[in-house]
Amino acid sequence: MPKKIFSLLPTFFLVLLTGCYIDETNVTQVDQIGYRPVYGSPAESQISFVPTASVIENPGKIYVYGKYLLVNEQKKGIHVFDNSSPDNPINIGFIKILGNTDMAVKDGLLYADHLGNLISLSIDDFSSIQEKGRLPLKNWNLGLPPPAGFKFECVDSQKGIVIGWTKTQEQKNLQCYAIN
């Protein structure tokens, strides 16, 4: 019985090999999506408090600090609610922090990411937010970092600071690659 199995092995491998043949003439190349930087001025990347309520569209982290409820709006900033009455939180404004995806609060300081930096803001009074410190992250200080795992058009710092990214399928200018 074992001799019969061994005699069939070459036939089995031959069938496998012919089943894996790919006709190169019928293969089509699928365009890959990449990203192109959107440039802005330093003024567009300023951190500020806007006292008007805005709609939460793409929420991220949520943090409770004292009587306040802070809700991250992915890549844009943080919504601030007066949560004195949890049954009816009142939207009191928005902290514009371009590129923000994460936050933490301790002892009156809000720690958040902002365009490739870790920043600390005094939030004792939301109407007069003050930056207390800034620390560059991952050697990226050209603005908003590109999406990880994609090719992108290399950043030209002469054009300004990167305030966003747009998708593109144009491959000729996608010379850089974001690992993480």
Residue 6 lies in a domain: no
Burial (0-12, 13-18, 19+ Cβ within 10 Å), 72: buried
Within-domain flag for 4: no
Q: Residue 145: pLDDT band by 50, 70, 90 thresholds?
A: confident
* Res. 60 pLDDT band, cuts 50 70 90: very high
How many structural domains does the chain have?
1
Of 42, 61, 36, 60, which is closest to residue 170 (Cα–Cα)? 36
88 part of a folded domain: yes
Would 2 be classed as within a structural domain?
no
At 45, the amino acid letter reads S
Q: What are phi and psi of 126, to 5 degrees?
A: -60, -30
**Lowest-confidence region among 14-23, 68-77, 99-108:** 14-23
Which pLDDT value is given to residue 142? 66
Secondary structure of residue 7 in the 3-state scheme: helix
Asked if residue 166 is part of any domain, the answer here is yes
pLDDT at 6 over 60: no
User: Does residue 23 surpass a pLDDT of 50?
Assistant: no
Please name the helix (run of DSSP H) or strand (run of DSSP E) that holds residue 112, with its range, or none. strand 109-114
Q: Is residue 47 part of a domain?
A: yes
What are the pLDDT digits (tens) for 27-50? 333 457 899 999 888 788 899 999
Instruction: Check which CATH number belongs to the domain holding 65 and give it.
Output: 2.40.128
Query: Does 27 reside within a domain?
Result: no
3-state secondary structure of 84: coil
134 vs 98, 116, 145, CA distance in Å? 14, 10, 16
Contact between 142 and 75 under an 8 Å Cβ cutoff? The reply is no
pLDDT tens digits, residue range 75-122?
899 999 999 999 999 999 999 998 898 999 999 999 999 887 899 999
pLDDT for position 10: 56
What is the predicted pLDDT for the residue at 163? Answer: 83
> pLDDT band at 158, cuts 50/70/90?
confident
Pairing of strands 90-96, 77-82: antiparallel
Considering the domain boundaries, does residue 82 fall inside one? Answer: yes
117 versus 66: the higher-pLDDT residue is 66
- List the one residue out of 177, 45, 10 whose CA is nearest residue 117: 45
Separation of alpha carbons 47 and 1, rounded Å: 78
Q: Per mean pLDDT, which of 19-23, 129-133, 163-167, 171-175 is the most reliable? A: 129-133
Domain holding 108, by residue range, is 34-177
